[in-house]
Structure 1
Amino acid sequence: MTDKSQQDRVLIFDTTLRDGEQSPGATMSHDEKLEIAEMLDDMGVDIIEAGFPIASEGDFKAVSDIAKRSKNARICGLARANYADIDRCWEAVKHAKLNRIHTFIGTSPLHRAIPNLTMDEMADKIHETVSHARNLCENVQWSPMDATRTEWDYLCRVIEIAIKAGATTINIPDTVGYTAPEESATLIRRLIEAVPGADEVVFATHCHNDLGMATANALAAVAGGARQIECTINGLGERAGNTALEEVVMAMKTRNDIMPWRTGIDTTKIMAISRRVATVSGFNVQFNKAIVGKNAFAHESGIHQDGMLKNRENFEIMRPEDIGLSGTSLPLGKHSGRAALRDKLEHLGFEVGDNQLKDIFVRFKELADRKKEVFDDDIIALMRVGEDAENDHLQLVSMKVVCGTGGPAEATVEMEIDGKDVTATANGDGPVDAAFKAIRELHPNKAHLQLYQVHAVTEGTDAQATVSVRLEEEGIIATGQSANTDTVVASAKAYINALNRLLVRRTKSAPGTDRKEILYTDPAE
């Protein structure tokens, strides 16, 4: 193994705020996007794809504000192959110290049929639009969408055109997660060998996880010569998701003997951003998820525990500390003070100011009065509560539920709606249904419940329940979360949280705009 300082550098291109946010229900608020971007910047991500500026005014403002606040990372925006998109993208990213325009077009036979362009017409369009982007920005990335299903000769042709037009990075997307690792490595290697000018640009890989091979495909592409990996935190993304940042980074760090490449990522910050993205997106990390799952460093069987006690390396190829875990789970109690809570938060990867600590401490004391012991996962759940309260139009004041075997459940809900207290009572098929119906009576809406999910944060009958609710209304999707030792209360608060987010999104979304459909439309230039 060569010295790390002499190894090839692999750039990490994070698209959590763009491709990751396109997961149904994963839409983040403006402030949440700024916060995630700052965390990505601090952990050493090389390029942050901050959004799709022409998709909406909200997207444009988020990309623009992230560009203005960036410290080290290059800020990138996505643009379709037309002048309007590219101009809008440049207006958003031009404020960054380091910027990039990322423009793309679908080149496979299936994707060429969407705009109904011939091969020659598309080739001309690629030359025109990449040239236009390069005239605005010195750093241009070009992607042939669905590259892995594009004819070989045509793929080589359009990549050569993009390079001659001024592209500095050529990204090869496996848009539908179709390829396999051996193919991924071979494709990159052959392109670098065959395309004139390939040695003058950086080749990148963008893999989806439809067949569960995104991480393997990305690392194989690097073995083939790619020097940029596009990825997201927790593998967030459309359908089965994208390559997970934490997986490729830790794979290269842990198996540097066979993958002799390095990144600029501070891996001790991985756990904190993983938890934060899970919170703001509403997509909980599965327990057995590689690197960041709750069970990734848990050992229950007797043989494993005995081996761990004798030597941690028997069953751990990474240290919890390497990704920002303290390695302990010592509980706090109702007698614990602010200093102990702050110390615990720091061990869990959360940095909080004095005012935020004061707010969290109040919620911690309330929880400690209901629970004998407050564990790490309880503290993490507390961080999710009340984050949007000061901007909420709808707030739960009180709730009373009557349920049992004798008849339909009944819920009486008191809410504050824009400063006015209102109350309603409703019956339902169970306490949660009754509570939701009472809320709908107080705040009439046409939102369809797409997801209702409950999981216990810790063990025991006094465990906090974390509830996720996903709502869809006229094409707008929003997710709400809440945690409480009372499952019905957590459900009502999560539902109200999702309604508040719907209100915000309805206000900020451009009329008729759909972030999924915009990828496949081509406005007049």
Structure 2
Amino acid sequence: MTDTTKQDRVLIFDTTLRDGEQSPGATMTHAEKIEIAGLLDEMGVDIIEAGFPIASEGDFAAVSEIAKLSKNSVICGLARAQLGDIDRCWDAVKHAAQPRIHTFIGTSPLHRAIPNLTMDEMAERIHETVTHARNLCDNVQWSPMDATRTELDYLYRTVEIAIKAGATTINIPDTVGYTAPRESADLIRKLLENVPGADEIIFATHCHNDLGMATANSLAAVEAGARQIECTINGLGERAGNTALEEVVMAMKVRNDIMPYQTGVDSTKLMNISRRVATVSGFAVQFNKAIVGKNAFAHESGI
């Protein structure tokens, strides 16, 4: 039997209420967001990304109330690399017993062109905004959006800047679901080996399912050294969705012989929250969906 007392802990970061709700048509009411956050908190999710506070008054109000009501989970808000965004985010999450600010900027050539910043200008923006976030909150997460399509040397440079500015978690997003498992693992290994201070912070993985590899990419990143998985209930999310929380949690639990990692999630609560998220989001779970689908444990054969 595997000795679970000596296993590495993998943090589960749920973004159903932020990235999941970005699915067109998946809008939840204020009361539904509070309910889902309560279920996530009870289930043992480590970090709940409750929303994008500057996006709307409704998002700000929901994040703020979730922060006040949370009992166990870290409550996180998302902010662009702008001082106003970060201030608004802090105003929403500061009521939590364990608040986190998550700030991001797109670092790939395509995303650098959107704000029309040079590499040096973006590096300065990262330093300024992460420093500002850390001056407000001890728990700061930074993401280089579209990291998997960012030049490797520049990714090293920006991650090092964010760590030196005070980021405690570095999240590596596969923003367009382009990466394969071997690449996902290789990128985490390279960051751990080549970025000064990388061994002092937590690396996270945030995968999209456009090529059907989000779960595999997330687990490959964990095997390479990532210790936080960003995911959603039922894999809810824009386009083809995000990494499914229930899949990575159960994969590590059932195949603990080859993936000897622990999470704090109570797997007996997965089916209930899956059904509630399906109901409130209006996104039904496909019958043959792994772990939580209606037919996941049914079998019929003419053989």
TM over 0.5: yes
2:104 is matched with which residue? 104
Match of 1:221 in 2: 221
Residues 1:89 and 2:118 are matched in the alignment: no
1:42-78 deviations in whole A, cap 9, x for unaligned? 0000000000000000000000000000000000000
Pairing of 1:66-465 with structure 2 (within 5 A): 66-301=66-301
Once the two structures are superposed, residues 288-315 of structure 1 have per-residue CA deviations (whole angstroms, 9 ceiling, x without a partner) of 1000011001112256xxxxxxxxxxxx
- Equivalent-residue separation in structure 2 for 1:178 and 1:260 (angstroms): 27
Post-superposition Cα deviations, 1:165-213, rounded to whole Å, max 9, x if no partner, equal 0000000000000000000001001100100000110000000000000
Distance 1:122 1:15 in 2: 26
Looking at structure 1, the residues matched to 31 and 235 of structure 2 have their Cα atoms a distance apart, in angstroms, of: 21
Report the residue type matching 1:152 in the other structure: L
Paired AA for residue 276 in structure 1: R
Aligned length, in residue pairs? 303
Counterpart code for 2:142: W
In structure 1, give the amino acid aligned to 2:240. A
Detail structure 1 runs of 4+ shifted over 4 Å in the superposition.
none
Contact 2:2-2:256 at 8 Å conserved across structures: no
Q: Give the CA deviation at 1:2.
A: 3.9
Cα deviations by residue, 1:1-49 (Å, 9 ceiling, x for unpaired): 6411110000000000000000000010000000000000000000000
Task: Report Cα offsets for 1:471-511 as digits up to 9, x if no partner.
Answer: xxxxxxxxxxxxxxxxxxxxxxxxxxxxxxxxxxxxxxxxx
Distance 1:270 1:15 in 2: 15
Q: Distance in 2 between matches of 1:187 and 1:83?
A: 29
Q: By how many angstroms is 1:285 displaced?
A: 0.4
What 5-or-longer segments of structure 1 have no aligned partner? Answer: 304-525
Q: Secondary structure at the match of 1:49?
A: strand
- Matched residue, 1:27: 27
Letter in 1 for 2:200: E
* Deviations 1:385-404, CA, capped at 9 Å, x for gaps: xxxxxxxxxxxxxxxxxxxx
- What is the identity, as a one-letter code, of the residue corresponding to 1:284? A
In 1: Cα distance, 2:27 partner to 2:49 partner: 15
For 2:290 and 2:139, the matched residues in 1 are separated by: 34
Normalising by structure 2, we get a TM-score of: 0.99
Residue identity over aligned pairs, in percent, reads 84
Alignment of 1:467-482 (within 5 A): none
Residue of structure 2 equivalent to 1:354: none
Q: CA separation in 2, counterparts of 1:132 and 1:197?
A: 20
SS at 1:178's partner residue?
Answer: coil
Task: Find the aligned partners of 1:2 and 1:166 in 2 and give their Cα distance.
Answer: 36
The letter for the 1-side match of 2:213 is: M
CA RMSD of aligned residues (A): 0.7
Partner of 2:50: 50
Match of 1:420 in 2: none
Partner of 1:429: none
Partner-residue secondary structure (3-state), 1:16? coil
Secondary structure class of the residue paired with 1:54: helix
Q: Is the 2:53–2:92 contact (alpha carbons within 8 Å) kept by the matching residues of 1?
A: yes
Structure 2 unmatched ranges of 5 or more: none
> Hey, what's the Cα distance between the residues in 2 that align with 1:261 and 1:182?
19
The two structures have a TM-score, normalised by structure 1, of 0.57
